[in-house]
């Protein structure tokens, strides 16, 4: 399942964040890459624990946990602390699959990477190239979202970032361990939840709503992994 979640950050917030990112001291992006990924990764990244990364990450997590669309689609159990990267001057990241398990620097907690997320802090017209290319059972998609918008997709997907030939592409990326491990099961629950919410608005007194809601929670109970 590929999901576009719009407007996690407002325009004025995006501008302040981008100004701060433009003045930040960046490091080689390979500092958080696995052995194979490091061969394909050519970008810049704020080091884990960088004050600006922590500030932006905390604001992002606050918005995620309050976002009904993210909560319904991801069914989050744990979220890896968001990281910040920059692609410029030919920077790219060739095809790869994200590591199955991540452990934040200085933490004993591990996160199974069921879902990957990219939050864009640059608008599509700010840079050339830089498309997020994702291959999965749904085919191949190329994505460039407005600044402040997030893309949620399965971490099992083969994906890459095309080389940036003009401008700079600032973004945050992170992983989510879901309460439901399987993408197909999460997609079914997401569709059912959306249908229940729509029926609740259209026919709030319909007796089938109780049965449908019960079925949703019984499926969740069957598939939940904690």
The strand ranges marked E within 138-199 are 139-143, 150-154, 158-161, 164-178
Task: Of 96, 203, 110, 109, give the one whose Cα is nearest residue 157.
Answer: 96
φ/ψ of 223, rounded to 5, equals: -100, -10
Residues facing residue 93 across a β-bridge? 41, 161
CB 61 within 8 A of CB 120: no
Residue partners of 25: CB distance under 8 A and separation at least 6: none
Q: 12 among the known binding-site residues?
A: no
**CA distances from residue 216 to 54, 109, 187, 195, 201 in whole angstroms, order as listed:** 36, 30, 12, 11, 17
Cβ atoms within 10 Å of 114's Cβ, excluding its own = 25
**Residue in this structure with the two tokens 């992002």, named with its chain if needed:** 60
Q: 169 among the known binding-site residues?
A: yes
Angstrom distance (rounded) from CA 154 to CA 102? 15
Alpha-helix residue ranges (DSSP H) falling in the chain:
11-22, 35-40, 51-65, 68-74, 183-202, 208-223
Q: 35 among the known binding-site residues?
A: no
Annotated binding site for Fe cation: 96, 98, 159
Annotated binding site: 96, 98, 159, 169
Annotated binding site for 2-oxoglutarate: 169
């Amino acid at each position: 399942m590929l999901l576009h979640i719009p407007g996690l950050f407002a325009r004025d917030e995006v501008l302040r964040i981008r100004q701060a990112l433009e003045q930040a001291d960046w490091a080689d992006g390979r500092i958080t890459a696995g052995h194979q990924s490091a061969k394909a990764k050519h970008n810049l990244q704020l080091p884990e624990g960088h004050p600006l990364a922590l500030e932006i990450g905390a604001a992002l997590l606050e918005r995620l946990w309050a976002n009904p669309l993210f909560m319904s689609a991801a069914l989050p159990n744990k979220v890896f602390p968001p990281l910040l990267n920059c692609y410029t001057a030919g920077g790219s990241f060739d095809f790869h699959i994200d590591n199955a398990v991540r452990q934040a620097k200085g933490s004993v907690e591990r996160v199974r990477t069921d879902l990957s997320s990219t939050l864009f802090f640059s608008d599509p017209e700010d840079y050339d190239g830089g498309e997020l290319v994702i291959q999965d059972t749904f085919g191949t998609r190329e994505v460039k979202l407005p600044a402040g918008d997030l893309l949620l997709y399965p971490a099992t997907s083969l994906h890459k970032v095309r080389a940036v030939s003009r401008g700079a592409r600032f973004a945050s990326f992170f992983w989510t361990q879901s309460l439901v491990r399987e993408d197909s099961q999460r997609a079914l629950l997401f569709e059912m939840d959306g249908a229940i919410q729509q029926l609740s608005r259209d026919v709030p007194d319909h007796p089938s709503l109780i049965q449908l809601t019960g079925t949703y929670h019984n499926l969740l109970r069957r598939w939940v992994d904690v």
